[in-house]
Amino acid sequence: MCACAIAGEVRRLNRKALPESKQIIFCSRVGKSSNLMSLIIGISGGTGSGKTTVANRILETVEASEVVFIQQDSYYRNLKDLPLDYRQVANFDHPDALDNDLLVNHVRRLKAGEPIELPIYDFKTHTRLNETRTVEPKPIVIVEGILIFADPRLLEQMDIKVFVDTPDDIRFIRRLRRDIAERGRTVESVIEQYIATVRPMHTQFVEPSKRYADVIIPEGGHNIVSIDLISGKIRERLAGALTSVGGQS
């Protein structure tokens, strides 16, 4: 089943199951698949939009042996050569803060059936650890990040592009809680960063990239019906690909 068919079927079910304000939005653009056994799904959206929740919901409905989950956050550039004070004020919401050359290379290798060494990033020190994590290729590759639609090379690799659309105030509250709990930040530092870089970069890079999405999910990871519909069509796509390959062997 092609991405266009997926969009059409989920759109039909979507209208029956959801009120208009909560319906998934399907755009006219659909990704093209060059390899049915390597389905690349991109999940983007602003900080705190619920991208990871959407990805995890999909992961819960697919066998672990069938899916690889890659987060763009793992590809932040290593700032170990900068003083800590400079690292803390760096603009982490600009595309240049990310090593997209490496991410593109890794997505292409996974799509080609080759393993990668996934970098491990320490958000408290803003450095990349020496060790890496070996990731083997699998039939489904989910790539998640705020800026994955801002790089044309990544867009070219994606078969299905999902944008998680959540109100700004909700996203800010989620980011505030996360950065304090998981990244050792203070309330003041989170607010200052949001005003100085997060909000301006969202306006400049993230929000405009929404036009590249095949699917737009409102209300983020809490839109359970929408996520379940997409997950179901992804499973059908995978089953169809496996059947096709089996018929050719």
Instruction: Provide the CATH number for the domain formed by 3-70+139-248 in this structure.
Output: 3.40.50.300
Look at residues 238, 215, 219, 244 and name the one whose alpha carbon lies nearest to residue 61.
238
Q: Which tens digits make up the pLDDT trace of 104-124?
A: 999 999 999 999 999 999 988
Report whether 27 contacts 215 (CB < 8 A).
yes
- DSSP state letter for 203: I
Q: Which tens digits make up the pLDDT trace of 120-176?
A: 999 888 899 999 999 999 988 999 999 999 999 999 999 889 999 999 999 999 999
| End-to-end Cα separation, the chain, in angstroms | 19
pTM reported for the whole predicted model: 0.80
